[in-house]
Structure 1
Amino acid sequence: MGDEVEITLVVENSVYKSQLLAEHGLSFWIDYDDSSYLFDTGQGQVLTHNLKTLNLNISELSGVLLSHGHYDHAGGLSAILEQQPEVPVYGHPDLFLPKYSQNTAGEVFRGFAMTKDEINNFNPNTDLTAVQSGLWLTGEVPRKNERETLNDHYQVKEDRELKTDPFRDDQSLVLDTEEGLVIILGCSHAGVINILEHVQQNFAQEIYTIIGGMHLVNASRDRIEWTIEQLQKIDFTQLIPLHCTGERAVRAMQSAFGERVETLSVGDKIKLKGKK
């Protein structure tokens, strides 16, 4: 490989650069070993605008990788397929289950408006899967830590029955670089510590960067403190909390890890050296 790896934040909740737009969502453009991928697609309201502004060409995509089936991560897929209908799409089969959340008004649909039949080149995965050499989707993440329990606020409809979403489709992306592994998180519904332990069990390399949504925005103080205690047991160089991590959790991470914690917004890039 040996080429430079570049990760561009295309969609996120915050933006500080002119001409770019923010929304509640997440999407990364990843240039890796002469290939380009999108990991998640945001809601779709700002995706194509930001890609064009950042001079990132949809026609050059080698694939679209989806972390899970919520609207703020998969909603922009239709806009990509309108321009490149044959691009390979990778994700768990449960992406397409009807997903909901509960609030005072009742059920709120949180899925995205596409079916598997509308995707010409869908590549389902449930286990750890190499998209190409040096780039993997984690597949289903075992839930081993009791503190990272399922939230019954999120539901899924199976066989016409609403039940707590098991988030079998929640998966992350792992990149192998010269500096170490880069772990890109979608929303971490499987639990950020469960995810990191799953990666460590499958890869011998050190972790360089952990970046993405950690879904601690509504977590209790106890849950946040426990998460930081577990992160302190993991040898990593850089932690970049985004999207659904939440301000309280980000401040706690900054207090615990100092300069190892970085914050990014739409348009920011990470550049690394590819694996030799």
Structure 2
Amino acid sequence: MSVAPGQPAQPAVVDFLSVDVLTDNVSDTYVSKTLFAVSEFANVVLAGAKEISGETLLVANLGYGLRLRTRIGQREHVLLFDTGTEGAAFIRNCRNLGLDLGSVEAIAITHGHWDHMGAVPAAIDAIVARRGRESVTVHVNPGMFNERGVLLKGGVIFPAARVPTPAQMTERGARVVNDGAARLLLDGHFYYSGEIPRVTTFETGREDHLCRRDNSEEWRPDPYLMDERMLIVHVRDLGLVVFTACSHAGVVNVCTEVRRLFPDLPIHAVMGGLHLGGVMEHIIPQTVEGLRPFDIRYIIAGHCTGWRALHALADTYGERVSQSAVGTSYTFDASAPSPAG
């Protein structure tokens, strides 16, 4: 369901949202969790592990991928939000969590980087094996399929792995929606954004990011990654849960766009990579202060956030901030008591 330009459609109000972290940079089953989170250790035990070992736990690697499950009344929908780096780790992690990929109806891709799309072929194969061909829809936009590269300090351009194309995903049995516009997914349970405006003065992207259509072109600067998208779920009595896989747009720009789209709804949680590590560390102070007006109840930071940014956020916002880790699950449900982490 496409959203008309300038007229953001309201996502449905879901009664329940669960989030399973399938891929993330960090494995940390010991760190204290928010009251609505369950740790990797507990989840693999619930999935039937007979012992705790390297084989029964999950693999952390550079990348991000979530399984989102929503419910309104008796109607449930299941969606993957990115997949992460590579297929073997993704499939292993899903298996160790006891997740049935046959329940997945759609995959929402945030942007065309290998650490978010590398496992897409394996995910499609696993879903199609259970549900049949054309039973899963992959949502992308045309800007995701440029060749990407990074300019190293010595002047060498280091290419990134190409992501699977719409044709390749279709050949594997997926239905592909390749459109730059915002849209509602799965009966409106999920709002998949259009282009995120860059409006802050300090979130200017990475100057070392380059792109080109293919090797017939010269590399050109690509600091803004305008193909990046976010996903929003409106949970009854809580507000909006915003998923931003890498925040190439800048997390303050992300929240600014959320507020523009849905000015009367509180932002209950922001979850994902905030892209504040390494060369982006210089904007940590502005980012921390820039988030203050949004009064976000929970910030669940993972993937590319970086430890310096996580510490700065925690120093400012206290227990509102937590570290995402692979294998962790989160439940957003105002009517249910919060489980122990």
Do the two structures share a fold, i.e. TM-score over 0.5?
Answer: yes
Distance 1:144 1:27, change over 3 A: same
Aligned position for 1:254: 314
Partners of 1:58 and 1:228 lie apart in 2 by 37
- 1:224-274 residue CA offsets vs partner (Å, 9 max, x unmatched): 110011111112100111110111000000000001111221111110128
Decide whether the 8 Å contact of 1:96 with 1:111 is kept in 2: no
- The count of aligned residue pairs is 275
| 1:216 correspondence with 2:276 | yes
Aligned position for 2:59: 21
Distance 1:113 1:273, change over 3 A: same
Matches within 5 A, 1:1-276: 3-15=15-27, 16=29, 17=41, 18=52, 19-33=57-71, 34-44=76-86, 45-83=88-126, 84=128, 85-86=133-134, 87-103=136-152, 104=154, 106-120=156-170, 121-132=175-186, 133-158=188-213, 160-165=217-222, 166-178=224-236, 179-203=238-262, 204-219=264-279, 222-273=282-333
Partners of 1:250 and 1:226 lie apart in 2 by 14
- The structural deviation recorded for 1:222 is 4.5
Structure 1 moving runs of 4+ over 3 Å: 219-222
Structure 1 length-normalised TM: 0.94
Distance 1:221 1:54, change over 3 A: closer
One-letter code of the match for 2:192?
L
Partners of 2:149 and 2:254 lie apart in 1 by 23
Which ranges in structure 1 are unaligned for 5 or more consecutive residues? none
Decide whether the 8 Å contact of 1:150 with 1:164 is kept in 2: no
Decide whether the 8 Å contact of 2:239 with 2:265 is kept in 1: yes
- Supply the RMSD in Å over aligned alpha carbons: 1.9
Q: Secondary structure of 2:219's match?
A: strand
- Higher RCO structure (Cα 8 Å, ≥6 apart): 2
- The structural deviation recorded for 1:128 is 2.4
Structure 2 length-normalised TM: 0.76
Which ranges in structure 2 are unaligned for 5 or more consecutive residues? 1-12, 30-40, 42-51, 336-341
Decide whether the 8 Å contact of 1:7 with 1:28 is kept in 2: yes
- The structural deviation recorded for 1:111 is 4.2
